[in-house]
Chains A and B, each alone.
Chain A
Amino acid sequence: MTGTAAEIVFDNVSKRYPGRSSPALDGLSLTIPAGTFCVLVGPSGGGKTTALKLINRLISLDEGDIRIDGTSILDLSPVALRRGIGYVIQQIGLFPHHTVGENIGTVPKLLGWPAARIRERTEELLTIVGLDRADATRYPQELSGGQRQRVGLARALAADPPLLLMDEPFGALDPITRARQQDEIRRLHREVGKTIVFVTHDIDEAIQLGDRIAILGEGGRLAQYDTPDAILADPADPFVAAFIGEDRALRRLALRRLGDVPLLPFAGGGPSVGSALTVRNAVSLLLEGGFDRLTVTGDAGTPIGTITLAHATSLLQS
């Protein structure tokens, strides 16, 4: 596992816990290209956590294989494998008796980095996740929930692993902190370009974050694996359709910004809106004001086109 991102392949993976009638995962095959932000989503008990923990061997495989950049995880020692994978869990699991700095430096220390390099990297990471350098000497109990979450993320990123596993990392946060953390993990993904496998049971979070979404249904069945737009446009079965909700057309429009879609030529009339607005919000404005059109303006405030309800509808066909 070298380079900045790793490709992960689930090859017909099954897992059945002892004493359970139905499998937690059933013949899962999935290729996550290097650098992808892949979200595993689905109802409780769908096997999302199981799939994640199979990757770093916290749970052992029954059948099939998982390969990271072509190497089977079974060919590596669990300890070596895990040191090359960043892992973030919902409860964060910071070491209460270690300072923030020591927590972040855990894996580099295991890998035998010199102290000076660990200190440098810790400071760098504190900045990346938006914490203060002075926080390095504080204990986790002295931080807020959102700050702890950032430390958990910094700790997972410490040794610059090509792969990051995150299990419902934002589940315990309030909506505002959560939205901020979601923005940051997106930004971070753009910047560091790692492969991220992110588990959530929140379809909104999945749509917002994922380059690709894998929907796991009851009994560990992979119901659909595609881009958010493709899933919203064409749910594979009634289960997926129900899971993503009746308002999937609006959710799709929420994924696009006016500046990124083909607009009608500027025709004048209607209120002006910025190009950063999502198509969904443009539709909402059209409906709210009873307007027949909106003028979309670019960065400089110059009109770049026009949007109507009929045009928004046509965008859904593409």
Chain B
Amino acid sequence: MSHASPPVIPHFGTASDCVLANRPFCSDWVRAHWQDTLGPALVQHVELTAIAVAIGFILAGGLALFAHRIRRAEQPIGVVATLVYTIPSLALFQILVPFTGITTTTVEIALVGYSLVVLYPNMAAGLNHAPADVVEAARGMGLTERQILLRIELPLAVPAVLSGLRLAVVSTISIATIAAFLMPRGLGYPIFVALRDPAPFKTEIYAAGGLAVALALVCDTALVVASRALVPWTRKGLAA
């Protein structure tokens, strides 16, 4: 987002009456700047979130399986996860910058950290969801430990994992707006830019903020729909 020769009103473009009056929401501005500002910001935001949640999912899954295997590790990992979650995001950026610089890596490390600590407790709890009698029946019928994990414990963990995933996606979408403090990426950046102005341009703030909210809602709904398909046994009002 570098500008070769700064125009007089850089972000307003060809200003309409609405824009000049800085009314709460000018749809003409949104249309005019979808291509150069909002669209790219939305794509970047999806990228930031997707990478963070994907890596967080893999790490949290690995940790949860490890803790499931070695029960003594369960509590320490849980405590550390809670501690990480209490660090304010901006402070975490500051802590990371000396090591990883002002880069996407820094942002992703922080976002992965948050999604991981949201996902881990749900995954760990989910793996313990299989009732003891179900596991005993499985073992008594001659399922190997691996088959018990793959066929019983993992499927029964799916509802808890999905609710963790919903939380992680929604909170990461929200936290990812803070990436703009570090670099011009994501839906936080248009907001950040607008706020820098002594008279913040309302449309830009509302449009970017609204997009973040809409993105969170769409992802959440998609996951709810997916969970219906993935856990058919809990449909029809059945208890899991």
Contacts and interface: CB of A to CB of B under 8 A. Distances in A.
Interface of A: 56, 58, 78-84, 87, 89, 91-98, 106-107, 110, 139, 141-142, 152, 155-156, 165
B231 interface: yes
Contacts of A106: 138, 141, 143
Interface in B168-215: none
A82 B137 contact: no
* Chain A CB within 10 A, most for which of B133, B134, B138, B143: B134
Contacts of A78: 142
Interface size class of B (residues with CB under 8 A): 20 to 34
Given A93-B134, A95-B138, 13 more contacts: A56-B140, A79-B143, A80-B142, A83-B141, A83-B142, A92-B133, A93-B136, A95-B152, A96-B233, A139-B232, A141-B239, A142-B236, A156-B141
B131 interface: yes
B23 interface: no
* Chain A CB within 10 A, most for which of B138, B139, B147, B232: B139
Contact of B137 (A80, A83, A84, A93): A93
B233 A141 contact: yes
Nearest to A90: B133
A142 B133 contact: no
A81 B144 CA distance: 12
Given A141-B238, A141-B239, A142-B236, A96 B142 contact: no
* Chain B CB within 10 A, most for which of A84, A92, A141, A152: A141
B137 to A, nearest CB: 3
Contacts of B238: 139, 141-142
Interface string B75-112: 00000000000000000000000000000000000000
B240 interface: yes
B140 A87 contact: yes
A79 B142 contact: yes
7 contacts: A58-B140, A79-B143, A82-B142, A93-B138, A95-B152, A96-B233, A96-B240
Given A139-B233, A141-B239, A110 B140 contact: no
Nearest to A52: B140
Contacts of A93: 131, 133-138
Contacts, number: 71
A91 B133 contact: yes
Given A79-B144, A107-B141, A142-B236, A94 B134 contact: yes
A94 B240 CA distance: 13
A97 B138 CA distance: 13
B142 A89 contact: no
A197 B137 CA distance: 16
Interface string B210-240: 0000000000000000000001110010111
B156 interface: yes
Nearest to A96: B233
B155 interface: yes
A160 to B, nearest CB: 14
Nearest to A156: B141
A96 B139 contact: no
A92 B135 CA distance: 11
A89 B140 contact: yes
B140 A97 contact: no
A97 B156 contact: yes
A97 to B, nearest CB: 5
A96 B156 contact: yes
Contacts of B155: 97
Contact of B139 (A58, A107, A142): A58
B142 A94 contact: no
A81 B152 CA distance: 20
